[in-house]
Amino acid sequence: MTTTKTPAKALIMSGYGINSEMETREALMRAGMASDIVHINDLIAGEKALSHYRLMVFPGGFSYGDDTGAGNAYANRVRNNLWSDLKDFLAGDNLVLGICNGFQILANLGLIPAFEQVRPREIALMPNRKGVLECRFVTLKPAVENLWTRGITHLYCPVSHGEGNFSCSEETLKRIEREKMVAFRYCRDDLSPAGGEYPYNPNGSLADIAGITSADGRVLGLMPHPERAMEFVNLYDWPTQKEHLRREGKPLPTESMNMQIFQNIVAYFEK
Amino acid sequence: MASHVHRIEVHYSRDPRLQTRTERFRSPGVPLRDLHLVDVYTIATSQRDFSPDELSQIGAQLSNPVVQRYSVDRPTEADFDHAIEVGFLPGVTDNAGTTAKQTIEDYFGFRFGEGEAVFSSQLYLVAGDLTPDSLRRLTAALANPLVNRVHVRSREEYGETGMDTITPFVRLDELQAAGTVDLDLPDADLARIGKEGITDPETGERRGPLALDLAQLHAIRDYFRGLGRRPTDVELESLAQTWSEHCKHTIFASAMDDDLPRGLYKTCIQAATNTIREAKGDKDICVSVFTDNSGAIVFDDEHLVTCKVETHNSPSALDPFGGALTGIVGVNRDTIGFGLGAKPCINIYGYCVGDPETEPALFRGKNRENPIIPPRRIFEGVVRGVDVGGNCSGIPTPQGWCYFHDRYVGKPLVFAGTVGVMPRARNGRLLHEKQALPGDLIVMVGGRVGKDGIHGATFSSEALDPASPVTAVQIGDPITQKKFSDVIVKEARDLDLYRSITDNGAGGISCSVAEMARESGGCHVLLDRVPLKYPGMAPWEIWISESQERMTLAVPEEKVDAFMDLMRKREVEATVIGRFTDTGRCVVEYNGETVMDIDLEFLHDGLPKKHLQTLPVTTTYPEPEFACPDRLDDLLLAMLTRKNICSKEFISTRYDHTVQGGHVLGPVQGSGRVQASATLTKVVLDSMKGVGLSQGLFPSYTELDPYRMAIAAIDTAIRGLIAIGVPMDTIALLDNFCWCSSDEPERLWQLKRAALGCRDGAVGFGTPYISGKDSMYNDFSGFDADSNPVKVSVLPTLLISSIGIHPDVATAVSMDAKFDGDLVYVVGETNEELGGSEYLAHLGIEGGTVPALDIETAKACYERMTDAIEKKIVASAFPVTHGGLLVALAKVAIAGRVGMDITIPGGMRPDCYLFSESLGRFVVTIAPSDREAFEELFGGDANLLGHVDGTVFRVSAGGKTLIEQPITAMEAAYKAPFGRY
């Protein structure tokens, strides 16, 4: 790994029920990127400045207890207090990542899909078809090669959300697909399409969509949690894999395939 | 009083949950076609009104235009026959309303004042041909009259105007003062004060049970005679809280019979721990036991882990959702309130409920009034309570269990536990130690105080009866708690801003402040400083209220500005409510008047000692007689569908068990997804150590043999951890006794036997207790459908929870069989021990021999298992528990989605061999190449039963086939009972 003169740093948002900030920081750190966890009120009060960072992360959580719609209340707080700083940030050579509750926040802010600069809300993460939170491992396949998905054959990590059911108008879906903005889709174990079938597609998402980018590709929203399965021993099926490897006389890996997405972020800033 | 009221209704244009929701509430008695849901926000202000344009902007803020529509002061239009609106009663926590209020404040840059609020409610638009009776049934399923207000309209009544606009503000008379209570009364009148409460001078009504007995009331009367004055109501209520069974555990603390003069706790629980700690010497794992809000053991050189398991039974009987929710967020505070604050990192749940397919006709009142909540709604309610509490708090909830029995229909048992992690030292201080000093300020943080939860501590010390107060119900607000949890354990603790902290649980600040006052030697509280949810509360109510999401801290004067500033930045309400002193007194002031002034010593140690007597009970049952069928296929499938054996996976997937990134062995395992006995979680991400959790409980054994019941629970809790690779010498235990009718000498005898089992089991295995809790009166007293009095007491229930440290999670072993050809063993001895077993319960037979255990033999065997796992020669391991060997084999096979070829030894009737619940056993599978090493290690302890093979599960004995079933059929049976939950 090369080091740049001023290493890019990440800002990880926290507060009001965001809860995955620690493991998100750990994942970025392991990939080689330092980050600060910053309470949204410290940004609003001007004690920290978004402009000091190159990556902004909205991590997973239950901001405001999902009241008034998952991610909606936190998005309102961002829009009502930080909108101009955020617009400046988006105009630079910077990245934004939203995972789970973070994706819901990005969708409510209109940072995704953001076909135009005005950023209306055009997609929604509705309640899961089953109507309850679903926590289980899912397999994801990249739908396009971009800065986020480079080198990834598949991810295998947990979803854990009550509202991850991707929805938008037919027209919007066509445009998202045409402009190659679908980043990941839910799929079966053999990487064939989930075809909407539960539990491979855990929430009823349109076109098996698990994550999309903004039109300019700099913002990624992803429902599943790669940061919660950073290591081989975090994977649901690791005990079986372990027995395979042991009997073949092979060593156990330490990292999981899910780290690639964080390594891709670091690689982007090192280019 | 709000003069401007507006109503915003939000609904999905195409609701993805419509089908699931409708199906959930559709039943033969409730022929629903569709059940639409509308979210309603009622905005009530007085200082300003909103223009139509502004109201539209608010509607936009509270909805998502892509998939939702909103209307302002205009009813939602839809195709329906009835409209049911469910809102909250005045004073009940309304989280969605609060969030909406904050959003509006943020958007317009103004603050709602007193008497202004946003109220949320849910409007169900029901399509279907419903009779008045089916409408009532549906309403009962949608709302709980203790916390909800319900408003029903037909389509016609709804018309063009829709529902009424309701603003459930709390209205109370202004400014109440403390009164005094005359205790110079005849015993009968005194007893009535203890049982029903103080008579309110204004209304003439009793204020609710103090749960003080005559001896305690005499002690209080004598104390105040000595002071030459009457007690105030504040003092009497405060003593009732502090002396409650819930807080002082008088039954465990009292002398018992002639042989236990120091009582059960000191003789059985504490002494066991002391003996073990001494024997372990340098290898002692305990850091803090019994004295703090949680117990703590060593995790590694830098960290310790804490654990506490609580129960929340009475509130859950009345409001299952609110009861379980406050149960889990309450025990989280036992973690945040341990030492100087540990970070909650794993949640634990456990539910004992009635069979959800039954609807027993039981009532709290005569003439079929005030029916109990049916088991299914209790079950679904408590499941949802921990769902909301745990998920919103960002704490993984991998570990849990459910146990079903008809004896839990009157009162469910709801267990909630939390594991915490903290550095052992920071800034030169040991973080598990705390000490409030004289002069420190008393600071309350978190939520405001309302009437909710008043008499909670005394209430759970009384059996549920018709006079149960509705104020005992609370709804938690996990996000308010998450906010202060984060700022305390992630910021304030490490900035060294306070000297002591504790939870406001049972008894509210009356207990937390008085408890911390022991550290400094006194306290002086200014009760009028306590922030209230609404005006008009009496001082005694403020003092003992159990409003949720609050903690009390001791903050040194020189740090109070920094502390308050940090809380302000994180939008956490914090208030200085007094000062710790060294006067030896607990003094409480309200608007300049002293309303309480008691010696701390009397408050804490003045309660009269009791000497309890027990009476042995032995029930004899006829020797069980039943035949063994030739084939056991049907029996196997029937056992797999038993509720105590089958899959409750819908809970595991609803509870986030991956947050914080430490998932290693989760609640379900293998490609067949079977619920495991133990889970393993990394709580320090850069360490390869992990925290293993398991548990044991056998309520069905208690009436037969309470001593063996306790040994079985301990053995099972330990064995679950041994099976995943946690070594015995890292394991600690927690005890939760949930007994019934504890004023009866026979029940006390069972309690004594169980406690002696707890002592012998723990000492035998060398596993110390670090924390425990008891709940002694889990009885329901009410009436049947014909108004005959009925008492339903829970099975005397002992939960043993285990926590242990895995040295290297990469060597951990899961439960699922792995590959064709792997060898299948049972480790440990099988005897004919069917008493209290799931098999006899299935056959409807009572009696039989409860499993016994030779602990020395078991211990040696478990050490060999640890050795085998370290040597990496175990492919899967699973403890044999409820349902016996056959159920364990089946679960291991289903989890691996592989068949097995099993031959059982002769010498015992096949059904007895396969369903006996003998302790000390594991099902183990290994690679064929490890056979020699494995058999050499275990010798005669391991019996080879067969091998993993194909997709069919076969069992034979003496050349005769007993079972031949496709594994898919077994998986279907195992998952059938709760498949549609």
A positions 98-137 inside 8 Å of B (CB): 108, 120-124, 126-136
Strand spans (E) along chain A: 10-14, 35-39, 55-58, 95-99, 123-126, 134-142, 155-161, 165-168, 182-187, 209-213, 219-222
Q: Look at residue B487 and give its three-state secondary structure.
A: helix
For chain B, how many structural domains are there in total?
Answer: 3
- Report yes or no: A256 at the B interface, CB cutoff 8 Å: no
Start-to-end CA distance of chain B, whole Å, equals 44
Facing residues of B906 across strands? none
Q: Are B933 and B942 in contact (CB under 8 A)?
A: no
User: Domain limits at B100?
Assistant: 4-158
B712, B796: one domain: yes
Residue A4 resides in a domain:
no
Q: Look at residue B54 and give its three-state secondary structure.
A: helix
- In 3D space, the residue among B707, B650, B715, B711 whose CA is nearest the CA of residue B677 turns out to be B715
B783, B841: one domain: no
B896, B772: one domain: no
Using the predicted structure, report yes or no on whether residue B548 has a pLDDT greater than 50.
yes
- In 3D space, the residue among B478, B483, B397, B657 whose CA is nearest the CA of residue A14 turns out to be B483
Active site residue A227: yes
For the stretch B88-105, pLDDT in tens is 888 888 889 999 999 999
Task: Work out whether the CA dihedral A55, A61, A63, A67 comes out positive or negative.
Answer: positive
Domain termination residue (choose one: B808, B826, B859):
B808
Task: Check residue B627 and report its DSSP letter.
Answer: P
B788, B818: one domain: no
Residue B617: burial class (beta carbons within 10 Å; 0-12, 13-18, 19+): middle
What interface predicted TM-score (ipTM) does this complex get? 0.96
Task: Work out whether the CA dihedral B545, B546, B547, B551 comes out positive or negative.
Answer: positive
Question: Nearest C-alpha of chain A: how many angstroms from B329?
Answer: 14
Whichever domain contains B900, its CATH number is 3.90.650.10
B777, B887: one domain: no
Residue A5 resides in a domain:
no
- In 3D space, the residue among B212, B208, B220 whose CA is nearest the CA of residue B244 turns out to be B212
The two three-digit tokens of residue B71, written as one number = 């209307």
Give the pairing of strands B585-590 and B593-599: antiparallel
Q: Which of A40, A62, A156 would you mutate first to test chain B, the one with the most B CBs within 10 A?
A: A62
A26, A52, A227, A255: the catalytic one is: A227
- In 3D space, the residue among B7, B22, B279 whose CA is nearest the CA of residue B128 turns out to be B22
Residue A102 resides in a domain:
yes
Residue B368 resides in a domain:
yes
- In 3D space, the residue among A122, A135, A218 whose CA is nearest the CA of residue A175 turns out to be A122
B830, B745: one domain: no
Would you say how long chain B is, in residues? 981
- Report yes or no: A30 at the B interface, CB cutoff 8 Å: no
Residues 6+ apart with CB under 8 A from B449: B508, B530, B531, B532, B533, B537, B542, B545, B547, B550
B862, B920: one domain: yes
Residue B520 resides in a domain:
no
For the stretch B473-491, pLDDT in tens is 677 788 889 999 999 999 9
For the stretch B817-826, pLDDT in tens is 999 999 999 9
Would you say how long chain A is, in residues? 271
CA distances from B150 to B83, B123, B144 (A): 10, 10, 9
Residue B459 resides in a domain:
no
Chain B environment of A14 (Cβ under 8 Å): 486
B837, B889: one domain: yes
User: Domain limits at A144?
Assistant: 10-270
Q: Are A158 and A267 in contact (CB under 8 A)?
A: no
> A126–B12: do the CB atoms touch at under 8 Å?
yes
> Residue B464 has what pLDDT?
53
For the stretch A137-164, pLDDT in tens is 999 999 999 999 999 999 999 999 999 9
> Residue B466 has what pLDDT?
46
B15, B109: one domain: yes
- In 3D space, the residue among B859, B858, B912, B865 whose CA is nearest the CA of residue B884 turns out to be B912
Task: Check residue B396 and report its DSSP letter.
Answer: -
Domain termination residue (choose one: B781, B808, B835):
B808
DSSP class per residue in B63-130? S-TTTEEEEESSPPP-S-SEEEEEEEPTTS--HHHHHHHHHHHHHHT----TT-EEEEEEEEEEEE--
Whichever domain contains A106, its CATH number is 3.40.50.880
For the stretch B900-913, pLDDT in tens is 999 999 999 999 99
Task: Check residue B585 and report its DSSP letter.
Answer: E
Phi first, then psi, for residue B501 (nearest 5°) are -150, 145
Residue B45 resides in a domain:
yes
For chain A, how many structural domains are there in total?
Answer: 1
Domain termination residue (choose one: B764, B787, B808):
B808
> Residue B462 has what pLDDT?
54
B723, B793: one domain: yes
> B66–A167: do the CB atoms touch at under 8 Å?
yes
Q: Are B455 and B472 in contact (CB under 8 A)?
A: yes
Work out the mean pLDDT of chain A and round it to a whole number: 95
Question: Nearest C-alpha of chain B: how many angstroms from A200?
Answer: 13
> Residue A2 has what pLDDT?
45
Residue B599 resides in a domain:
no
Q: How many helices and strands in chain B, by DSSP H and E?
A: 32, 40
Give the mean model confidence (pLDDT) for residues B713-735.
Answer: 98
- Name which of B391, B569, B685 is nearest A41 (Cβ-Cβ): B569
Residue B262 resides in a domain:
no
Kind and range of the H or E element at B156?
A: helix B155-158
The two three-digit tokens of residue A39, written as one number = 């309470």
Residue B508 resides in a domain:
no
The Cβ-side half-sphere exposure at B942, using a 13 Å CA radius, reads 26
B788, B896: one domain: no
- Report yes or no: B621 at the A interface, CB cutoff 8 Å: no
For the stretch B97-150, pLDDT in tens is 999 999 999 999 989 988 899 999 999 999 999 999 899 989 988 988 878 889
Residue B372 resides in a domain:
yes
Using the predicted structure, report yes or no on whether residue B156 has a pLDDT greater than 70.
yes
Residue A1 resides in a domain:
no
B757, B851: one domain: no
| Cα gap A98→B783, rounded to integer Å | 55
Confidence of residue B211 (pLDDT cuts 50, 70, 90): confident
> Residue A168 has what pLDDT?
96
Whichever domain contains B779, its CATH number is 3.30.1330.10
> Residue B6 CB: number of other CB atoms within 10 A?
20
Question: Nearest C-alpha of chain B: how many angstroms from A22?
Answer: 7
For the stretch B859-915, pLDDT in tens is 999 999 999 999 999 999 999 999 999 999 999 999 999 999 999 999 999 999 999
Question: Nearest C-alpha of chain A: how many angstroms from B719?
Answer: 19
Residue A202 resides in a domain:
yes
